[in-house]
Structure 1
């Protein structure tokens, strides 16, 4: 299991995460992992962008699973849509 850090997510970029507890199988693909440009000293700040073709999710906290990471609760915000793909962002500010 990995910690929830930029480097942990970066190694799983372009892989699928499963939404736990959804009424149907919902996969989110980790499309991008980006470091924040201005991070306060003593913090690690980064964002994740997920792509989903399994329908629209409201802005909320969801539990995600990945076979190589621990189960995690992530606050997802819809940020754009391209055809049937909806993109969601989650921002992390973690004190080191």
Structure 2
């Protein structure tokens, strides 16, 4: 398959990269919560703050018994939604 180059393929790669970064931040946030990472740590605090902002539309979507379960399910749903929306946008921008 030959490289076609151009604006559309660059846009597709950019959308894919941004989507991957968003999903990685959310998944890292889930891991930090499940492993009870020290929230006083600057990196952990930053990832959780960004994760909370990204997952705000999914906050309390499902009520769970524990915070860990709620983060796993609600943030997990957010990661899946970002993945599918980003994939669809990347497909639309592909040439």
Higher helix fraction (1 or 2) = 2
Structure with greater contact order relative to length (CA < 8 Å, sep ≥ 6): 2
Which one has a bigger Cα radius of gyration? 2
Same fold (TM over 0.5): no
Higher strand fraction (1 or 2) = 1
Q: TM-score of the superposition, structure 2-length normalised?
A: 0.27
Q: TM-score of the superposition, structure 1-length normalised?
A: 0.27
